[in-house]
Amino acid sequence: MTDKLVALVPAAGIGRRMGADKPKQYLPLTEHCILGETLARLLAHPAISEVVVALAAEDPYFDDLAQASHPKLRTVIGGDERADSVLACLAAVNPDIAPWVLVHDAARPLITAGDIDAVVKAARAGQGAILAAPLVDTIKWSQDGKRIEETVPRQHLWRALTPQCFPTGALRLALSEALAEGASITDEASAMERLGWPVTLVKGRNDNIKITEPADLPLARWLLSQQESC
Protein backbone atom coordinates (compact mmCIF):
# COMPACT_ATOMS: atom_id res chain seq x y z
CA MET A 1 0.00 0.00 0.00
CA THR A 2 2.05 2.91 -1.29
CA ASP A 3 -0.70 5.48 -1.95
CA LYS A 4 -1.73 7.49 1.08
CA LEU A 5 -5.09 6.63 2.58
CA VAL A 6 -7.05 9.20 4.59
CA ALA A 7 -9.92 8.28 6.92
CA LEU A 8 -12.88 10.67 7.04
CA VAL A 9 -15.20 10.71 10.05
CA PRO A 10 -18.42 12.76 9.88
CA ALA A 11 -19.10 13.64 13.52
CA ALA A 12 -21.19 16.80 13.35
CA GLY A 13 -24.51 15.12 14.10
CA ILE A 14 -26.57 15.21 17.26
CA GLY A 15 -28.00 11.68 17.44
CA ARG A 16 -31.51 12.61 18.61
CA ARG A 17 -32.67 9.00 18.97
CA MET A 18 -30.25 8.54 21.86
CA GLY A 19 -32.14 11.12 23.95
CA ALA A 20 -28.96 12.15 25.79
CA ASP A 21 -27.79 15.53 27.08
CA LYS A 22 -24.92 15.61 24.59
CA PRO A 23 -24.28 14.28 21.06
CA LYS A 24 -24.15 10.49 21.17
CA GLN A 25 -20.58 10.30 19.88
CA TYR A 26 -19.41 11.83 23.18
CA LEU A 27 -21.21 9.40 25.48
CA PRO A 28 -18.84 7.25 27.58
CA LEU A 29 -18.07 3.78 26.27
CA THR A 30 -15.11 2.59 28.35
CA GLU A 31 -12.05 4.70 29.06
CA HIS A 32 -12.89 6.54 25.83
CA CYS A 33 -16.15 8.00 24.65
CA ILE A 34 -17.69 6.51 21.50
CA LEU A 35 -15.90 8.89 19.13
CA GLY A 36 -12.65 8.54 21.07
CA GLU A 37 -12.67 4.76 20.66
CA THR A 38 -13.47 5.09 16.95
CA LEU A 39 -10.63 7.54 16.40
CA ALA A 40 -8.17 5.51 18.46
CA ARG A 41 -8.70 2.51 16.20
CA LEU A 42 -8.41 4.48 12.98
CA LEU A 43 -5.31 6.36 14.15
CA ALA A 44 -3.63 3.11 15.16
CA HIS A 45 -4.01 1.53 11.73
CA PRO A 46 -0.68 1.61 9.85
CA ALA A 47 -2.28 2.09 6.41
CA ILE A 48 -4.12 5.26 7.44
CA SER A 49 -1.88 8.29 7.05
CA GLU A 50 -4.34 10.85 8.39
CA VAL A 51 -7.80 11.12 9.95
CA VAL A 52 -10.04 14.11 9.15
CA VAL A 53 -13.01 14.64 11.47
CA ALA A 54 -15.98 16.88 10.65
CA LEU A 55 -17.34 18.59 13.78
CA ALA A 56 -20.27 20.85 14.54
CA ALA A 57 -19.41 24.55 14.37
CA GLU A 58 -19.53 25.05 18.14
CA ASP A 59 -18.49 21.64 19.44
CA PRO A 60 -17.50 22.03 23.13
CA TYR A 61 -16.53 18.39 23.66
CA PHE A 62 -13.92 17.40 21.08
CA ASP A 63 -10.92 19.14 22.62
CA ASP A 64 -11.31 17.03 25.75
CA LEU A 65 -10.63 13.81 23.83
CA ALA A 66 -7.24 12.17 24.28
CA GLN A 67 -7.02 11.88 20.49
CA ALA A 68 -7.69 15.59 19.84
CA SER A 69 -3.99 16.50 19.72
CA HIS A 70 -2.83 13.45 17.75
CA PRO A 71 -0.43 14.48 14.96
CA LYS A 72 -2.31 12.38 12.38
CA LEU A 73 -5.64 14.08 13.10
CA ARG A 74 -7.24 17.19 11.59
CA THR A 75 -10.67 18.71 12.09
CA VAL A 76 -13.01 20.62 9.78
CA ILE A 77 -16.44 22.17 10.29
CA GLY A 78 -19.16 19.83 9.11
CA GLY A 79 -22.64 20.51 7.78
CA ASP A 80 -26.25 19.75 8.55
CA GLU A 81 -26.26 16.46 6.65
CA ARG A 82 -23.81 13.59 6.46
CA ALA A 83 -22.96 14.34 2.82
CA ASP A 84 -22.14 17.96 3.70
CA SER A 85 -19.76 16.81 6.42
CA VAL A 86 -18.04 14.25 4.20
CA LEU A 87 -17.61 16.90 1.50
CA ALA A 88 -16.06 19.23 4.07
CA CYS A 89 -13.59 16.47 4.95
CA LEU A 90 -12.86 15.84 1.27
CA ALA A 91 -12.08 19.52 0.73
CA ALA A 92 -9.17 19.07 3.16
CA VAL A 93 -7.69 16.15 1.20
CA ASN A 94 -5.40 16.51 -1.83
CA PRO A 95 -6.33 13.65 -4.21
CA ASP A 96 -2.86 13.76 -5.78
CA ILE A 97 -1.32 12.93 -2.40
CA ALA A 98 -4.11 10.75 -1.00
CA PRO A 99 -5.98 9.17 -3.93
CA TRP A 100 -8.13 7.00 -1.65
CA VAL A 101 -10.37 7.87 1.29
CA LEU A 102 -12.03 5.67 3.86
CA VAL A 103 -15.29 7.03 5.32
CA HIS A 104 -16.30 5.68 8.71
CA ASP A 105 -19.22 6.37 11.05
CA ALA A 106 -18.29 8.13 14.28
CA ALA A 107 -20.67 5.80 16.13
CA ARG A 108 -19.06 2.53 14.99
CA PRO A 109 -16.30 2.17 17.60
CA LEU A 110 -15.86 -1.59 17.20
CA ILE A 111 -14.23 -1.50 13.77
CA THR A 112 -11.27 -3.87 13.55
CA ALA A 113 -7.98 -3.64 11.68
CA GLY A 114 -8.91 -6.81 9.79
CA ASP A 115 -12.11 -5.29 8.41
CA ILE A 116 -10.26 -2.11 7.43
CA ASP A 117 -7.65 -4.20 5.60
CA ALA A 118 -10.34 -6.19 3.79
CA VAL A 119 -12.35 -3.23 2.51
CA VAL A 120 -9.25 -1.29 1.43
CA LYS A 121 -7.87 -4.31 -0.42
CA ALA A 122 -11.17 -4.87 -2.23
CA ALA A 123 -11.51 -1.18 -3.10
CA ARG A 124 -8.05 -0.98 -4.61
CA ALA A 125 -8.59 -4.20 -6.54
CA GLY A 126 -11.68 -2.61 -8.12
CA GLN A 127 -13.03 0.93 -8.00
CA GLY A 128 -14.49 1.09 -4.51
CA ALA A 129 -15.85 -1.11 -1.74
CA ILE A 130 -17.95 -1.07 1.41
CA LEU A 131 -18.27 -3.31 4.40
CA ALA A 132 -21.71 -4.92 4.48
CA ALA A 133 -23.64 -7.75 6.11
CA PRO A 134 -26.24 -10.03 4.50
CA LEU A 135 -29.70 -9.73 6.02
CA VAL A 136 -30.67 -12.71 8.14
CA ASP A 137 -34.04 -11.54 9.49
CA THR A 138 -37.30 -11.86 7.60
CA ILE A 139 -38.18 -8.46 6.13
CA LYS A 140 -41.73 -7.08 6.13
CA TRP A 141 -43.01 -4.14 4.06
CA SER A 142 -45.44 -1.71 5.68
CA GLN A 143 -46.38 1.75 4.47
CA ASP A 144 -48.09 2.88 7.66
CA GLY A 145 -45.92 1.03 10.17
CA LYS A 146 -48.93 -0.81 11.53
CA ARG A 147 -49.95 -3.46 9.03
CA ILE A 148 -47.82 -5.88 7.00
CA GLU A 149 -48.35 -5.53 3.27
CA GLU A 150 -45.83 -8.06 2.03
CA THR A 151 -42.74 -10.07 2.90
CA VAL A 152 -39.66 -8.91 1.02
CA PRO A 153 -37.27 -11.59 -0.29
CA ARG A 154 -34.01 -11.16 1.60
CA GLN A 155 -31.61 -13.33 -0.39
CA HIS A 156 -30.16 -10.35 -2.28
CA LEU A 157 -30.35 -7.78 0.53
CA TRP A 158 -27.35 -6.49 2.46
CA ARG A 159 -26.97 -3.97 5.29
CA ALA A 160 -24.47 -1.27 4.42
CA LEU A 161 -21.80 -0.76 7.09
CA THR A 162 -18.68 1.36 7.25
CA PRO A 163 -15.87 1.92 6.43
CA GLN A 164 -16.60 2.66 2.79
CA CYS A 165 -13.54 3.19 0.58
CA PHE A 166 -13.49 5.14 -2.70
CA PRO A 167 -11.18 7.22 -4.90
CA THR A 168 -10.97 10.71 -3.44
CA GLY A 169 -11.82 12.67 -6.57
CA ALA A 170 -14.65 10.39 -7.65
CA LEU A 171 -16.35 10.53 -4.26
CA ARG A 172 -16.08 14.31 -4.19
CA LEU A 173 -17.74 14.50 -7.62
CA ALA A 174 -20.46 12.02 -6.70
CA LEU A 175 -21.43 13.79 -3.48
CA SER A 176 -21.31 17.25 -5.07
CA GLU A 177 -23.60 16.19 -7.91
CA ALA A 178 -26.00 14.41 -5.58
CA LEU A 179 -26.37 17.46 -3.34
CA ALA A 180 -26.75 19.81 -6.31
CA GLU A 181 -29.59 17.65 -7.62
CA GLY A 182 -31.29 17.32 -4.25
CA ALA A 183 -30.81 13.56 -4.10
CA SER A 184 -31.25 11.69 -0.82
CA ILE A 185 -27.84 10.35 0.16
CA THR A 186 -27.65 8.12 3.22
CA ASP A 187 -24.15 6.77 2.64
CA GLU A 188 -21.25 7.30 0.25
CA ALA A 189 -22.04 4.21 -1.80
CA SER A 190 -25.49 5.59 -2.66
CA ALA A 191 -23.83 8.65 -4.19
CA MET A 192 -21.42 6.49 -6.19
CA GLU A 193 -24.27 4.26 -7.38
CA ARG A 194 -25.96 7.30 -8.93
CA LEU A 195 -22.94 7.68 -11.22
CA GLY A 196 -23.05 4.02 -12.19
CA TRP A 197 -19.87 3.39 -10.21
CA PRO A 198 -19.15 -0.28 -9.44
CA VAL A 199 -19.01 -0.90 -5.69
CA THR A 200 -17.74 -4.17 -4.21
CA LEU A 201 -19.43 -5.69 -1.16
CA VAL A 202 -17.09 -6.98 1.54
CA LYS A 203 -18.68 -9.06 4.29
CA GLY A 204 -17.95 -7.36 7.60
CA ARG A 205 -17.94 -8.58 11.18
CA ASN A 206 -21.24 -8.80 13.02
CA ASP A 207 -19.87 -6.84 15.97
CA ASN A 208 -19.30 -3.71 13.87
CA ILE A 209 -22.51 -2.16 15.20
CA LYS A 210 -23.62 1.45 14.97
CA ILE A 211 -24.58 2.92 18.33
CA THR A 212 -27.92 4.63 17.74
CA GLU A 213 -30.24 3.97 20.70
CA PRO A 214 -29.66 3.69 24.47
CA ALA A 215 -29.76 -0.12 24.42
CA ASP A 216 -26.83 -0.15 21.99
CA LEU A 217 -24.38 1.18 24.60
CA PRO A 218 -24.31 -1.83 26.95
CA LEU A 219 -24.24 -4.13 23.93
CA ALA A 220 -21.24 -2.25 22.52
CA ARG A 221 -19.44 -2.47 25.87
CA TRP A 222 -20.01 -6.22 25.99
CA LEU A 223 -18.85 -6.69 22.39
CA LEU A 224 -15.75 -4.63 23.15
CA SER A 225 -14.95 -6.87 26.11
CA GLN A 226 -15.28 -9.90 23.85
CA GLN A 227 -12.89 -8.39 21.30
CA GLU A 228 -10.36 -7.67 24.03
CA SER A 229 -10.56 -11.22 25.37
CA CYS A 230 -9.80 -12.79 21.98
Instruction: Residue 10: name the closest of 113, 112, 80 by CA.
Output: 80
pLDDT number for residue 1: 43
Helix 82-90, helix 168-180: angle, nearest 10: 140
Alpha carbons 66 and 38: distance in angstroms, whole number? 12
What is the Cα–Cα distance from 123 to 119, expressed in whole angstroms? 6
Spatial separation of the C-alpha atoms in residues 13 and 109, rounded to whole Å: 16
Structure confidence at residue 16 (pLDDT): 67
What's the confidence (pLDDT) of residue 204? 98
Give the pLDDT score at 17: 67
Per-residue pLDDT of the chain (230 residues; tens, 9 = 90+): 457 999 999 999 876 667 678 899 999 998 999 999 999 999 999 999 999 999 999 999 999 999 999 999 999 999 999 999 999 999 999 999 999 999 999 999 999 999 999 999 999 999 999 999 999 999 999 999 999 999 999 999 999 999 999 999 999 999 999 999 999 899 999 999 999 999 999 999 999 999 999 999 999 999 999 998 76
pTM for the predicted model, two decimal places: 0.94
How many angstroms separate the Cα of 50 from the Cα of each of 4, 78, 82, 129? 8, 17, 20, 19
What's the CA angle centered on 40, arms 68 and 111, to 5 degrees? 140
Angle at which helices 34-44 and 113-125 cross, to 10°: 60
- How does 26-35 read in b/e, with b if 16+ C-beta sit within 10 Å? bbebeebbbb
5-229 CATH pick, 3.30.70.2740, 3.90.1150.10, 3.40.50.720, 3.90.550.10: 3.90.550.10
pLDDT value at residue 230: 64
The predicted pLDDT at position 2 comes to 57
What backbone torsions phi and psi does residue 108 show, to the nearest 5 degrees? -115, 75
Q: Where does residue 87 rank: exposed (0-12), middle (13-18), buried (19+ CB within 10 A)?
A: buried
Cα angle 225, 37, 54; round to 5? 155
